[in-house]
Amino acid sequence: MGEKSEPLVRIFGVLDITPEVVTMLVITAITAVVCLIVRSRLKERPGRLQNMLEKAVEYLDNFFTDIMGKKNARKYLWFLGSLFCFIILANYSGLIPGVGISRFFKAPTSSLSVTLGLAIMTFFFIQISAIRAGAKHYLKHFLTPIVPLILLDEFIKPASLALRLFGNIFGEENVTENLYRLLPIGAPMIMMGLSLLFCAIQAMVYTMLTASYLQEFLEE
């Protein structure tokens, strides 16, 4: 699990399709199919699947409302909610038997390149949202004698998000793999049980900090 992934396919000699990419595509496809099915079967009296998804959306709405207020939470829920769902599904994919051991699948968030990609996307989303909310106030944020430190801080925030998520998921996968080698029965199952909670917490922390960083600009 902790070894560097070898490309499964190399397109045009530049673009590598790694096990992390395959897993991301599977997650995206399954999520899209579930959403399309629910959307095509929306009812006033929801079934189990619709009811479960509605409760999940309501939970995320309340979660971000506590951080950003109702107006901003509703405005940016589409991004923050999508980010949370992708990260938690990517984290949980590492708990599926065979993922990480198979050469075709690997938890995406156990790869630094994936978490850095998420961090870059988060960085640009926050900056663009801040500019759209008020370009004048956005520029005023940097009009200070300590502007180099302010700029450095803006780059450190997403970098810390990437490293925190990668480090925790990478470490959890390595611990589980080593326990499996030492004691194949029992110990790995206990670790996987703890990981169910651990992976959810990591997704919550990432999106909570993203919402907090965004709210800092919006408040100004």
Per-residue pLDDT 10s for the chain (220 aa) are 444 566 666 666 666 777 888 888 888 998 888 888 888 877 777 778 788 888 889 999 999 999 999 999 999 999 999 999 999 999 888 777 666 556 667 888 888 888 999 999 999 999 898 888 877 777 777 777 777 888 888 888 889 999 999 888 887 777 766 766 666 665 566 666 777 888 889 999 999 999 999 998 887 6
- 200 touches 63 (CB < 8 A): no
Residue 3 domain-assigned (yes or no): no
- Residue 80 CA to residue 104 CA, distance in Å, equals 29
Residue 4 domain-assigned (yes or no): no
Residue 136 domain-assigned (yes or no): yes
Residue 71 domain-assigned (yes or no): yes
Q: Output the pLDDT for position 60.
A: 92
- Residue 204 CA to residue 60 CA, distance in Å, equals 10
- Count up the domains in the chain and report the number: 1
Instruction: Note down the domain range covering 97.
Output: 9-219
Q: Output the pLDDT for position 1.
A: 41
Residue 81 domain-assigned (yes or no): yes
- Residue 101 CA to residue 159 CA, distance in Å, equals 28
Q: Output the pLDDT for position 5.
A: 65
Q: Output the pLDDT for position 38.
A: 81
Residue 1 domain-assigned (yes or no): no
- Of 216, 200, 113, 211, nearest in space to 162 by CA: 113
- 93 touches 99 (CB < 8 A): yes
Residue 2 domain-assigned (yes or no): no
